[in-house]
Amino acid sequence: MGLDRKALKSRLLKKLLAHPELNHLRTLGDEELLTSIRETLQKKTASELWIFAYGSLIWNPLFPHIERCAVTVEGWQRQFCLLAPVGRGTIENPGLVLGLEEGDRCQGIAYRLEVDDNLESELLLLWRREMVVGSYIPTWVKAKNSSQQIEALTFTVNSEHPTYVNNLSPEKIVESLATAKGVLGSSAEYLSHTVQGLLAEGIEDQKLLELDRLVKNRQRELDQ
């Protein structure tokens, strides 16, 4: 199955994480998520609301938007640095998903949301997806395209979180992405969809392209 709005409305991710072996990962309830949303919006300085996508939100945003464009964010880079013991992997073989860490630059997609009476309920679905265990930090960043600079909300990695890993070897990253699979799909699919989503916007992330090649090669080896 894939992640969709029905799954978010049913709190699927929170349910998947309710496993005795994952009790070190505290899940957040809706009241805590709403508090986080309101505190985050209080820090917004622009009248518009943009969301910066650098991973699965590129190819599966699941929220209505009125505009989208390719942008670059300076001072941050995407990295496979978060373990996925459910969704894209299992407890026995956790997958990996992307986080945004301090670094060089990151190209991705910015979505402009309608600022109306439905905004909080839409953001709650987004928070159930990105913030269910607090592995990300809602962060306002400056995103640029060829014609403008915008203030955008994104989810940077929480380096204090138990799922954060920053010492994996390149070989371990390839092995995890090539082999891990959960109820939402495989980590390899997550990587491939991100690469294809970027390419559809004319963005060639050379590190992701090379990683995707290595993962596919490893999967072919395993199939032999």
CA torsion through residues 109, 44, 76, 119, sign: negative
The conformation of residue 142, written as its DSSP 8-state character, comes to E
Q: Would residue 48 show up in a list of annotated catalytic residues for this protein?
A: no
| Residues with Cβ within 8 Å of residue 96, at least 6 apart in sequence | 80, 81, 82, 83, 84, 88, 89, 165, 168, 173, 176, 177, 180, 187
**Residue 98, both tokens:** 């992307």
| Residues with Cβ within 8 Å of residue 149, at least 6 apart in sequence | 142, 143
For residues 24, 27, 28, 29, the Cα torsion angle rounded to the nearest 10 degrees is: -130
Q: What are phi and psi of 169, to 5 degrees?
A: -70, 155
For residues 15, 16, 21, 26, the Cα torsion angle rounded to the nearest 10 degrees is: -60
| Residues with Cβ within 8 Å of residue 193, at least 6 apart in sequence | 56, 59, 60
Q: Which of 31, 48, 130, 204 is catalytic?
A: 130
Q: Catalytic site residues?
A: 130
